[in-house]
Structure formats: structure tokens, C-alpha cells
Amino acid sequence: MNPYFIVDTAKSFEKASADLQLAVAAEGFGVLVVLDLGDSLRSKGISFAEQCRVFDVCNPQQAAKVLMNDMKLNMALPCRISVYTEAGQTRIGMIRPEGMLRNLSSEPDLMEVAREVESSATAIIQAAASLNT
């Protein structure tokens, strides 16, 4: 299975970024921080033409389940969803939580949490990419 889930959208980078924030809230997650990697690189004098924002998103109940099971997994939290451009195309994507967690733990309860989080995060990405928002 592809370790990434990426959706192309006809939306502008700015519109996709704004709609992602709305979709995150609608799915019961919160945005903890937004890292604008494109701006950060350009502010350091690096010529970087693409846009890239990384949204650290979290569902507190799901995060608590993970941490109560294995505190070391704090290093895999929170989930990251990126809005970025590539050759003029706006994309929204993530590394699939289920695949990532499968590499870090074999605990069945955690696999269920990962499936639930992946389902929600996929819905967030699809909603943000949709032209209906």
C-alpha cells in the first residue's frame, strides 16, 4: 500500500489551506500549529518557488489512547497534513497513520486507533480538496 495519501485539488494554495482548517475542525480535530516551510526557506535566502504548509493536527481523545498505551509514540504525534504546490498543482496529503504506526508497534488496540485516525484524516483531506467547500 502507498504510504502516502495525496489528493490534487483545483483550489489555490491559499484556499486549500483555509479549507483544510475548516475541515479539521468539522472532523473533531484541532490545528496545533502551522509550519510554512516555503516561507521559512525563502526567509533564509533559499530560492524555493513552491508553497508548502504543514498543519500539525490532533484529536485529543485519540492521542491520549496512543500515549496511554505506549508513551514512546509521542514522537509520532501529532498527525501532519500538508498543503503544497508541485509544478503548479495544489496538493493536500499525509503519511498514512496506519502504515506508520504499524512500523512502530504491533499492539492491536493501537492499530484500531490508527485506522480510525486515518479514516478521519482522509475525510479531512477529501473535504478540503473538494470544490464544494
Which residue has 504491533 as its cell numbers? 106
Question: Could you tell me if 80 and 54 are in contact, meaning their C-beta atoms sit under 8 angstroms apart?
Answer: yes
Rounded CA gap, 33 and 126, in Å?
A: 20
What local confidence, expressed as pLDDT, does residue 13 receive? 98
Chain segment 51-90, per-residue pLDDT in tens: 999 999 999 999 999 999 999 999 999 999 999 999 999 9
Average pLDDT (95-119) is 93
Question: Could you tell me if 81 and 96 are in contact, meaning their C-beta atoms sit under 8 angstroms apart?
Answer: no
What local confidence, expressed as pLDDT, does residue 133 receive? 57
CA-based nearest residue to 111, from 126, 92, 119, 25: 119
Question: Could you tell me if 57 and 121 are in contact, meaning their C-beta atoms sit under 8 angstroms apart?
Answer: yes
Question: Could you tell me if 100 and 79 are in contact, meaning their C-beta atoms sit under 8 angstroms apart?
Answer: no
User: pLDDT > 90: what percent of the chain?
Assistant: 92
Judge whether residue 115 has pLDDT over 80.
Answer: yes
| pTM for the model | 0.94
CA-based nearest residue to 120, from 91, 98, 87: 98
Rounded CA gap, 78 and 97, in Å?
A: 10
